[in-house]
Amino acid sequence: MSSTRFHELIADSQLLKAIDAQGYEQPTPVQLQAIPRVLAGKDLLVSSKTGSGKTAAFLLPALQKILNDRTTNPASSRILILTPTRELARQIVKNAEQLLKFTHIKVGMVCGGEEFKYQKAMLRKNPEIIVGTPGRLAEHVTHKSTDFSGLNFLILDEADRMLEMGLIEDVVAIAKTCSAERQTLLFSATLEPQGIRHLIKQVVLGESEEIVVNETANAIEQQMILADDVKHKEKLLVALLEKSAFEKVVVFTNTKAKAAQLDNLLRYNKYKVSALHGDITQDQRRVALDFFRQGKTQVLVATDVAARGLDIPGVDLVVNFDMAHSGDEYLHRIGRTGRADAEGRAVSFVAANDWNLTKGIERYLDARFAILSIPGLVGHYKGPDKLKSSGKAAGTKKKTDEKKTSSDKETKVKVRARDKKNIGKRRSPAAKPEPTIDFGDGFSAFKKKPQ
Ligand code: ADP
Ligand code: MG
């Protein structure tokens, strides 16, 4: 453990006071590595596991720099932060405001789903820092309501996700209006320069340095429950929540419709539920997440819109009602728990159409998910009849009652040696069957371990 303290990295006393008020005692490993290099003027590609403190790793040095250097270009914004979702933008605005509470620096947010005219008026006041999603910001760039001619930092949080979502054109259009003197910083838990080189080429102007923080994996226990079909999964979900001791749980589905359905199902079962997906209004999304943060609701049912970046204390269980489409998305979903050294558990429901995806993800993570069973709800599905050496189903897929969904398509899961550095210790891929755990005895293993 390093004994470096924040005052050895950050000079501004207002900023140090705010760090203290946040209760941060020591920089995390990613902060330790990134802060000095940002201060030294580098362009960076930073990858470090979920919940490791990446936000402060870019905010602190960027804020230090703008607090230290007066600008000659007061009409221009100084820091621009782009994120894939509105919820993450809002969270970063809050983080920045907390760190700036002893200063006069202003932060503005520009996301879709909110009034354009109001945003334009806000932008006219030249906030030093803007956080937003690429689509709406690109519109403001077209309307010339932004001024990035004196920008010091262009920061892309969850950069790989923005690329996946097809937001690269907007990101590039915005980047073109940013000062050529700026520093560009890209952050994610899954940043693989090969996969995003197209983006890097267009937004990073200088030679970029790569930081890969090599830490032990988060303490997240990963398990799966075999399921026959959607109806069976619904029963499993209700039973799992009933028998588990959790403070807050996030349930991920692959479609908005399914998220809405589970919202109803769990409400019917007397849970206090928040739902977060693309089919509800921005206001509803905001309220849903606020309630979940404040503990007014205990369950968040969400699509992958909630998989990236959200930092919600108390989430100790993540359920994948449908398996994630890729190893990266799986990692981000389960990364909503086990943050900042906390412990967590992830349980995935695996029906026949999730099997190959699950095996691909296990291989990508070099992990084996223990199979759980819930007494009284043990289904017929026991995995494919015949397995290939990869663990995937051999021959024709088994048919189930379940309708084909998009998750049925076998998604390519890339195995990337470099990423594994963030995932943790390699375990030898065993040919032996998965360990089976039966929680007949009151689900003791679901209870939170004492510290
Ligand atoms: P990431 O972006 O890497 O997923 P976040 O930036 O959201 O992680 O940080 C995760 C949590 O850790 C947040 O609640 C944040 O307040 C907290 N945190 C960040 N830096 C520190 C620190 N130096 N000491 C203690 N907690 C920290
Ligand atoms: Mg983050």
Domain limits, the chain: 6-212, 220-372
- In whole numbers, what is the pLDDT of the chain averaged over residues? 89
Whether domain 220-372 has CATH 3.40.50.2300: the reply is: no
Q: Taking residues 83-103, what's their average pLDDT?
A: 97
The answer to whether the CB of 60 falls within 8 A of the CB of 99 is: yes
339 lines ligand 1 (CB under 6 A): yes
Q: Which atom of ligand 1 is nearest to the CA of 187?
A: 2
| 420, pLDDT greater than 50 | no
- Ligand 1 center to 124 CA (angstroms): 32
Task: Report whether residue 21 contacts ligand 1, using a CB cutoff of 6 Å.
Answer: no
Closest ligand to 309 CA?
Answer: 2
Question: What is the pLDDT confidence band of residue 401, given thresholds at 50, 70 and 90?
Answer: very low
338 ligand 1 Cβ < 6 A: no
Contact criterion met (CB below 8 Å) for 46 and 30: yes
- Who wins on pLDDT, 409 or 158? 158
Between CA 401 and CA 405, with CA 404 as vertex, the angle to 5 degrees is: 130
Report the pLDDT averaged over residues 420-432.
42
Residue whose CB lies within 8 A of the most ligand 1 atoms, among 7, 49, 52, 99, for a mutation test: 52
- For residue 233, what are the CA distances in angstroms to 247, 317, 320, 352? 22, 17, 10, 12
Model confidence at 408, pLDDT cuts 50, 70, 90, reads very low
DSSP lists the bridge partners of residue 164 as: none
Average pLDDT (64-87) is 94
Is the CB of 157 within 6 Å of ligand 1?
Answer: no
| Residue 409: pLDDT over 90 | no
Residue 291 CB burial class (10 angstroms; 0-12, 13-18, ≥19): middle
Residue 379 has pLDDT above 80, yes or no: yes
Q: How remote is the CA of residue 375 from the centroid of ligand 1, in Å?
A: 38
Give residue 445's pLDDT. Answer: 38
Distance 190 CA to ligand 2 centre (A): 11
User: Measured in angstroms, how far is the CA atom of residue 52 from the centroid of ligand 1?
Assistant: 6
Our answer on whether the CB atom of 27 is closer than 6 Å to any ligand 1 atom is yes
Q: What is the model's pLDDT at position 3?
A: 82
- Strand-pairing partners, residue 322, are none
With a 6 Å cutoff on the Cβ, whether 29 touches ligand 1 is no
Q: Is 311 in the pocket of ligand 1 (CB under 6 A)?
A: yes
Q: Residue 259: which pLDDT band, with cuts at 50, 70 and 90?
A: very high
218 CB under 6 A from ligand 1? no
Q: Is the pLDDT score of 393 beyond 60?
A: yes
Given this model, what pLDDT does residue 194 score? 86
Q: Whose CA is nearest to atom 15 of ligand 1?
A: 53
**Among candidate residues 244, 315, 301, 295, the one with its CA nearest the CA of residue 267:** 301
For 198-215, the pLDDT digits (tens) are 899 999 998 999 999 988
Query: Terminus-to-terminus CA distance in the chain, angstroms?
Result: 19
pLDDT over threshold 80, residue 449: no
What is the CATH superfamily name and number for domain 6-212?
P-loop containing nucleotide triphosphate hydrolases (3.40.50.300)
Measuring from atom 24 of ligand 1, which residue has the nearest CA?
A: 24
Atom of ligand 1 lying closest to residue 6 CA: 23
CA distance 341 to 396: 43
**What is the pTM assigned to this prediction?**
0.89
Indicate if the pLDDT at residue 405 is higher than 80.
no
pLDDT(446) > 80: no
Instruction: Say how many Å lie between the CA of residue 77 and the centre of ligand 1.
Output: 25
Report the separation in Å between the CA atom of 451 and the middle of ligand 1, taken as the mean of its atom positions: 20
Q: Is 50 in the pocket of ligand 1 (CB under 6 A)?
A: yes
> 329-362, pLDDT tens digit by residue?
999 999 999 999 899 999 999 999 999 999 999 9
Please tell me if the CB atom of residue 24 comes closer than 6 angstroms to any atom of ligand 1: yes
Confirm whether 6-212 and 220-372 share one CATH topology: yes
